[in-house]
Amino acid sequence: MSDATTLDRPREAHRDTPQRPTAVVTGIGVAAPNGLGARAWWDAVLRGENGIRPLTRFDATSYPVRLAGEVPGFVAEDHVRSRLLAQTDQVTRLNLAVAKEALDDAEVDPADLPAYAAGVVTASSAGGFEFGQRELQALWSRGGQHVSAYQSFAWFYAVNTGQISILHGLRGASGVLVTEQAGGLDAVAHARRQLRKGSSLVVTGGVDSALCPWGWVAHVAEGRMSTSNDPDRAFLPFSADADGYVPGEGGALLVLEDARSARDRGARVYGSIAGYAATFDPPPETGGSRLGAAAELALADAGLTPEEVDVVFADAAGERAADRAEAQAICALFGERGVPVTAPKTMTGRLSAGGSSLDLAAALFSLRDQVIPPTTGTDRPADDCPLDLVTGAPRTGVRLRTALVLARGRGGFNAAAVVRA
Amino acid sequence: MTRFEITDLTALLRESAGADEGVDLDGEITDVPFDDLGYDSLALLQTTGLIERQWEVVLDEEAVSEARTPGQYLEVVNQALNARAAV
Question: Do A232 and A306 fall into the same domain?
Answer: no
**Which DSSP symbol is given to A20?**
S
Here the CATH number for the domain that contains residue A102 is: 3.40.47.10
State whether A145 and B42 contact (CB < 8 Å). Answer: no
Where is the domain boundary, A264, A292, A321? A264
- The complex scores an ipTM of 0.90
Question: Do A258 and A277 fall into the same domain?
Answer: no
Spell out the domains of chain B, with CATH numbers in brackets. Answer: 6-18+29-86 (1.10.1200.10)
Mean pLDDT of chain A: 94
Question: Do A224 and A97 fall into the same domain?
Answer: yes
Could you give the CA distance from residue A321 to residue A309 in angstroms, rounded to a whole number?
25
Residue A253 dihedral angles phi and psi, to the nearest 5°: -120, 140
pLDDT of residue A401: 98
Question: Do A190 and A133 fall into the same domain?
Answer: yes
State whether B46 and A146 contact (CB < 8 Å). Answer: no
Write the pLDDT tens digit of every residue in A374-419: 999 999 999 999 999 999 999 999 999 999 999 999 999 999 999 9
Establish if A17 belongs to a structural domain: no
Question: Do A156 and A229 fall into the same domain?
Answer: yes
State whether A83 and B53 contact (CB < 8 Å). Answer: no
Least Cα separation, residue B61 to chain A (angstroms): 14
Write the pLDDT tens digit of every residue in A99-108: 999 999 999 9
Residue A110 has pLDDT above 80, yes or no: yes
Residue A9 has pLDDT above 90, yes or no: no
Phi-psi region at A240: left, alpha or beta (left = phi > 0; alpha = psi -120 to 50): alpha
Establish if A130 belongs to a structural domain: yes
Question: Do A125 and A239 fall into the same domain?
Answer: yes
Where is the domain boundary, A207, A240, A264? A264
Contacts of A393 (CB under 8 A, 6+ apart): A48, A374
Establish if A4 belongs to a structural domain: no
Out of B18, B45, B49, name the one closest to residue A85 (CB).
B18
| A-chain residues near B18 (CB < 8 A) | 81-86
Residue-number span of the structural domain to which A199 is assigned: 23-264
Question: Do A174 and A142 fall into the same domain?
Answer: yes
Question: Do A296 and A378 fall into the same domain?
Answer: yes
Q: What confidence tier does A18 reach under pLDDT thresholds 50, 70, 90?
A: very low
Could you give the CA distance from residue A346 to residue A350 in angstroms, rounded to a whole number?
8
Could you give the CA distance from residue A343 to residue A353 in angstroms, rounded to a whole number?
16
Question: What is the count of structural domains for chain A?
Answer: 2
pLDDT of residue A59: 96
Question: Do A229 and A104 fall into the same domain?
Answer: yes
A153 to chain B: closest CA residue: B42
* Section A272-298 average pLDDT: 95
Establish if A9 belongs to a structural domain: no
